[in-house]
A and B are shown apart, each in its own frame.
Chain A
Amino acid sequence: MLKVRIIPVLTFNGFGLVKTKQFQQPRMVGNPVQAARVYNSRGVDELLFLDIFASKQQRKLNMKIVSDVIRECFMPVGIGGGIDSIEDIQALLKIGADKVVIKTAALNDPDFVRKAADFFGAQCISVAVDAYLDDAGIYRVYTTEKGSLPVDEFIQSMAEKGAGELILTSVDRDGMMQGFDVDLVKLAEKNCQLPIVVSGGGGEPAHFTELFSQTNCGAVAAASIFHFTQFTPLDIKRELGAIGKPVRL
């Protein structure tokens, strides 16, 4: 039976690891290579490394650090940050990335996702969808520009372009550790058949059991809970196992 996945996320600012709240106030939380080593020794299901300022600062990924992170990992690793060309993806796969996470380029040029999926296979193309609830009660894709797309439309278009997986983050819940946005997950599930990695809001194991019991969610990505509490991915999986979810212990 397919196991649910608990995926630690390393959010990087170009120098070190940071953790944001609602995508603001980045706080330094350590060294990415050390963190990757610890997560590998704990046998986590997968790891995500995202340079969350690369696109905004018009930087490319620091390939030296990315390759040092990947070298620590004997589990799948997804890498994101400023990826906007076939060459970017090729360079990452070459150093051992299993998946690339595309966000800004998918918004600016949705056909890039198709191009990438056709070239490398959908299985290694993840699309990050950062969503917030607007004042009218509609989930929209978070961008710095005005008039962003409704989330359901964007998800449908990404599925149609051949994305292999969505990484769905609630901006409202990011770093708040108050629980996941279950309604957002349900909306996403209604609009595509892709595997969805849910992120934003996990602060204690009960938040995870709530999410998994109310949705068909197969994977969660989290950071704050691992940086700021004593809970480990294994603790969460034990709780999920206790409510009957298939987990890898």
Chain B
Amino acid sequence: MVIDYGMGNVASVQKALRFLNIDSVVSNDIMAIQNASSLILPGVGAFAQGMLNLRESGLIEVLHQEVMDYKKPFLGICLGMQLLATTGTEPHTCEGLGWIEGTVRKMEEPTLAIPHLGWNTVERTRESDIIQHDQVDCYFIHSYHFDVTDPKVVLATVDYGSTYVAAIEQDNIFAAQFHPEKSQDAGLAMLTQFFKKHA
């Protein structure tokens, strides 16, 4: 199930799932979240707005319960990865979902263009079923990055002046800063692997 909380690109995610023959619904219904076999949190936009929308839709508790307590498979994309953080700063400091310890901060690269936009090499930092190659090109578009406290949860990094977190995997949670649904074969392969792993 793709969670619709008014923060962008659910259409692209659903299109990718359809292409992979994976049944999905787009919804913000609490019962639907409880009944879903897995949850996808997409998202484009500002952190504070994303949290506000989740809170106003009354989804924070049920998401916490399903993902953290019942360990339901969870896929976060872009803002949907960043919202897992303890704290966000876009545009002001605010609380995140707090499932993965760390802070989402503005990227500071004085000599490089911000946003970090385009195809960049995702470098795997450990073995994983979901990302099957050591290096793979994926599509990024973001100005903020997730500064993760515990390096053990980091699955892949990306180099853009500094090294940034590109993907996280912890138990039932997989989350990517890049857009698998926009990364053609490389991204579609990861989505396939995510659903295979959690079938």
Interfacial residues, chain A to chain B (CB-CB below 8 A) = 1-5, 40, 43, 45, 70-71, 74-76, 93-96, 98, 120-124, 164-165, 193-196, 218-219, 248
- Chain A minimum-CB-distance residue to B78: A123
Cα(A193)–Cα(B143), bound, Å? 13
Cα(A236)–Cα(B177), bound, Å? 28
Closest Cβ of chain B to A160, distance in Å, is: 14
Contact yes or no, A75 B184, CB < 8 A: yes
Q: Specify which of A94, A121, A193 is in contact with B46 (CB 8 Å cutoff).
A: A121
Known pairs A3-B137, A5-B119; A194 contacts B184 (CB<8 A): no
Chain A residues within 8 Å of B188, by CB: 74
Cα(A121)–Cα(B160), bound, Å? 20
List 23 A-B residue pairs with CB atoms under 8 Å apart, sorted by A's residue number: A2-B116, A2-B160, A4-B118, A40-B184, A43-B185, A45-B119, A74-B181, A74-B188, A76-B141, A96-B9, A96-B15, A120-B8, A121-B45, A121-B143, A123-B141, A124-B8, A193-B114, A195-B113, A195-B117, A195-B118, A196-B113, A218-B118, A248-B137
Chain B residues within 8 Å of A164, by CB: 115, 117
Interfacial residues, chain B to chain A (CB-CB below 8 A) = 8-9, 11-12, 15-16, 19, 44-46, 112-121, 137, 139, 141-143, 159-160, 179, 181-185, 187-188
Cα(A98)–Cα(B181), bound, Å? 11
Known pairs A74-B182, A120-B45; A93 contacts B115 (CB<8 A): no
Contact yes or no, A2 B120, CB < 8 A: yes
Majority DSSP secondary structure for residues of B touching A: mixed
Q: Considering the complex of A and B, which 3 residue pairs feature the smallest CB-CB distances, nearest first?
A: A96-B11, A3-B119, A195-B113
Contact yes or no, A71 B15, CB < 8 A: yes
Known pairs A74-B182, A98-B182; A93 contacts B44 (CB<8 A): yes
- Chain B minimum-CB-distance residue to A94: B11
Cα(A74)–Cα(B13), bound, Å? 10
Majority DSSP secondary structure for residues of A touching B: loop
Known pairs A123-B142, A193-B113; A5 contacts B185 (CB<8 A): no
Chain A residues within 8 Å of B19, by CB: 74
Contact yes or no, A43 B11, CB < 8 A: no
Known pairs A3-B137, A96-B15; A165 contacts B121 (CB<8 A): no
Contact yes or no, A123 B118, CB < 8 A: no
Contact yes or no, B8 A93, CB < 8 A: yes
- Chain A minimum-CB-distance residue to B159: A1
- Chain A minimum-CB-distance residue to B110: A193
Chain B residues within 8 Å of A165, by CB: 115, 117
Other CB < 8 Å A-B pairs besides A3-B119, A123-B117, A165-B117, 10 of them? A2-B120, A2-B160, A74-B182, A74-B184, A121-B44, A123-B141, A123-B142, A193-B113, A193-B114, A248-B137
Contact yes or no, B182 A122, CB < 8 A: no
- Most chain B CB atoms below 10 A, which of A2, A71, A75, A196: A2
- Most chain A CB atoms below 10 A, which of B9, B114, B119, B120: B119
Closest Cβ of chain B to A77, distance in Å, is: 9
Closest Cβ of chain A to B146, distance in Å, is: 15
Closest Cβ of chain A to B157, distance in Å, is: 13
Contact yes or no, A96 B12, CB < 8 A: yes
Cα(A206)–Cα(B16), bound, Å? 36
Chain A residues within 8 Å of B187, by CB: 74
